[in-house]
Every structure is written in C-alpha cells, then in structure tokens.
C-alpha cells in the first residue's frame, strides 16, 4: 500500500487532517481550549501531515485563525485546502453562498485569515445539486478567474454526484473530489470510480461514518468491523481508515479530531496492512444511509 499519492500535481501523504472539529460545538464559535486545538495542529505536522483541510465557515473564522496561530509561517511542504460556497447565520445555521461574488469573497476571506497570497486548493462546496444545472459554469468560472489571478492553485468540488463531476470536468481542470464515503457508506462508488479513471484525488468526508449518526461508536457496534479490529488488535476507527487506504490509491484521508490521542491513532492507521481476507470480510459491514444531505461539513 502506497503511503503517498497526489493532490493534483502535488505529492502528499495519504493521511492528512480535517480541521473542522477544532471549532466549538456544532462547528460554531471558539473551542473551550484554544491552546489544545493549536497543539493538535502542531502535533499533526510533527507526525508528517502535509495536507490540512479547512474552511472560513468553520467557526466561522475560528478554525482558520487557529491554523494561522499554530503554524504560520507555514512549513514549505504543507498544503492548505479550503472550501467555499457556504456561510453561517448568527445562530450557527448553515446557509448557501453560491453566487460568483460570494465565492470570490469566500476565497478572499480564507486568504486573509490564513495570511496567504495563494491557497493550494479551493473546493466548490455544493449545497443543492438540483440548483447547479444552470449555475455550475459560472461558479467554476469564478474559481478559474481567481486561479488565473494567482489566488489559488487547484480547483476541487465537494458534495457532487458523478454526473455533476463529469459536467465540471468539461468546464475546468478538477484536481479533487470531496464526498461522503466510508466503509459504512458507499453511495459514492460511481464518483470514486470516475476519480480513478481521471486520476483525481478522492477525499472522503465522514471517513468514520457521519459524526451526526454515531461516527466511531457506530463503527464499534458493527460486528464485522469489531471482528476485524479485534483480530488485528486495532481500533474500529483504525480499521475503517485502513479500509479506505486499501480501497483505492486515489483516496486521501482527512480524519478530524480535537484530541492528540485520537490524532495519533488516526495517523497510525497508515501503517496497518489489511489482507484480502480482511477486505472481503469488511464487505459485510452494515451499509447505512447517505449522509450528504443530512448535515454540512
């Protein structure tokens, strides 16, 4: 199993870090212990993480500020990835911000808060695919304009079906797809297959199952996952992450946590070798509902 893959033309370690959980409850407001959050970020980089996923609407502002405080000036090898297309209301609700003007503001806000002149990759986070039919060209066109201006390097898309991805690939160069996918949610098999065909990075969100539907506890309760984990003497979460790494060389992981202990466990999943028997056994894991429309990320 290769431990590195590519984000566009950028080689990266296949286990990165998703920073969403560093904000307060509901990904809103500040964490109870900001220094612990900064320590998690610093430890992630110490452990070899060179791909951090964030967004201005995590907090909002909070997570990007924590990243800047903990890691600026950034290590030369570190790739920072954000997403635009959403915003928060005063109560923490998730709202779309999908117009070209809002996408431009989103990119500019990320650059300012992260203290960057250019960000490595920006994902267009779709909220309602039924609303993209006539807007996708102008949305991706806005990101392409920003790329031409030198404000971002690569463009990705998130929460997109395989059909939407095919339309996007006709419009601009796409480097990355972020969709919900895990050992217990395989609704996006078509999207993964297309990424393999086109040599695109596939970055699952909710890689441990939806945090809004039990997450790691849900994995531990599955008898098949628990059996493989016990046989390998690893945790159910490590089993789920290792399954993803073995499932496709195009998969990059961004598991998130606010705990250094869990961070270290997640990174250690990159050293776990599953054999063919394990992979076949995990085909029997319970398949749960599709979380993409259930909650934002």
Q: What is the pLDDT of residues 191-246, one digit of tens each?
A: 999 999 999 999 999 999 876 667 888 899 999 999 999 999 999 999 999 999 99
d(Cα 54, Cα 52) in Å, to the nearest integer? 7
Secondary structure of the chain as H, E, C letters: CCCEEEECCEEEECECEECHHHCCHHHECCCCCHHHHHHHHHHHHHCCCCEEECCCCCECCHHHHHHHHHHCCCCCCCEEEEEECEEECCCCCEEECCCHHHHHHHHHHHHHHHCCCCEEEEEEECCCHHHCCCCHHHHHHHHHHHHHCCCEEEEEEECCCHHHHHHHHHHCCCCEEEEECECCECCCHHHHHHHHHHCCEEEEECCCCCHHHCHHHHHHHCHHHHHHHHHHCCCHHHHHHHHHHHHCCCECECCCCCCHHHHHHHHHHHHCCCCHHHHHHHCCCCCCCCCCCCCCC
* Per-residue pLDDT at 132: 66
Looking at residues 38-64, what average pLDDT do you find? Answer: 98
pLDDT of residue 114: 98
Upstream peptide bond of 285 is cis (omega within 30 degrees of 0): no
**Active-site positions?**
58
Phi first, then psi: give them for residue 183, nearest 5 degrees.
-60, -25
Supply the pLDDT for residue 295: 47
Residue 112: pLDDT above 60? yes
The phi, psi pair for 180, rounded to 5°, reads -65, 130
Of all residues in the chain, the percent with pLDDT exceeding 70 is 94
* pTM exceeds 0.85: yes
- What is the arithmetic mean of pLDDT over 154-178? 97
Distance in Å from the first CA to the final CA of the chain:
28
Interval 120-143: pLDDT, tens: 999 999 987 666 667 999 999 999
Structure tokens at 43: 């430890």
Q: What is the pLDDT of residue 130?
A: 67
User: Average pLDDT, stretch 84-110?
Assistant: 97
Mean pLDDT of all residues in the chain? 94
Residue 288: pLDDT band (50, 70, 90) is: confident
Q: Which has the minimum average pLDDT: 42-51, 67-76, 131-140, 200-209?
A: 131-140
pLDDT confidence of residue 294 = 40
- Report all structural domains of the chain as residue ranges with CATH numbers, in order of start: 10-282 (3.20.20.100)
Question: Which two tokens mark 264?
Answer: 């270290």
Q: Looking at the predicted structure, is the pLDDT value of residue 168 above 50?
A: yes
240-265 per-position pLDDT tens digit = 999 999 999 999 999 999 999 999 99
Largest CA distance in the chain: 53
Structural Rg of the chain based on CA atoms? 18
Is 72:84 a contact under the CB 8 Å cutoff?
no
The total number of residues shown for the chain amounts to 297
Contact criterion met (CB below 8 Å) for 227 and 219: no
Residue among 59, 113, 63, 64 nearest 87 (CA): 59
């Amino acid at each position: 199993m290769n431990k590195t893959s590519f984000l566009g033309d950028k080689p990266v370690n296949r286990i990165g870090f998703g920073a969403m959980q560093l904000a307060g409850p509901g990904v809103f407001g500040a964490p109870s212990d900001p220094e612990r959050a900064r320590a998690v970020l610093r430890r992630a980089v110490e452990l070899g993480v060179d791909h951090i996923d964030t967004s201005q609407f995590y907090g909002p502002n909070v997570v990007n500020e924590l990243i800047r405080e903990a890691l600026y000036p950034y290590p030369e090898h570190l790739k920072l990835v954000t997403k635009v297309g959403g915003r928060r209301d005063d109560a923490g609700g998730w709202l779309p911000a999908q117009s070209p003007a809002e996408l431009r503001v989103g990119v500019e806000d990320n650059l300012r808060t992260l203290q960057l002149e250019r960000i490595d990759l920006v994902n267009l986070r779709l909220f309602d695919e039924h609303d993209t039919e006539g807007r996708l060209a102008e949305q991706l066109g806005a990101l392409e304009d920003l790329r031409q201006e030198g404000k971002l390097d690569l463009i990705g898309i998130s929460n997109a079906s395989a059909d939407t991805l095919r339309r996007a690939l006709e419009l601009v160069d796409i480097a990355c797809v972020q969709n919900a996918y895990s050992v217990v949610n395989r609704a996006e098999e078509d999207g993964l297959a297309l990424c393999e065909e086109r040599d695109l990075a596939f970055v699952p969100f909710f890689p441990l199952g939806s945090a809004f539907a039990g997450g790691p506890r849900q994995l531990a309760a599955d008898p098949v996952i628990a059996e493989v984990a016990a046989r390998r003497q690893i945790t159910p979460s490590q089993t789920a992450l290792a399954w993803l790494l073995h499932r496709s060389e195009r998969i990059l992981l961004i598991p998130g946590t606010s705990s250094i202990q869990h961070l270290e466990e997640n990174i250690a999943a990159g050293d776990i070798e599953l054999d063919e028997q394990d992979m076949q056994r995990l085909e029997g894991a319970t398949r749960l509902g599709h979380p993409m429309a259930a909650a934002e990320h």
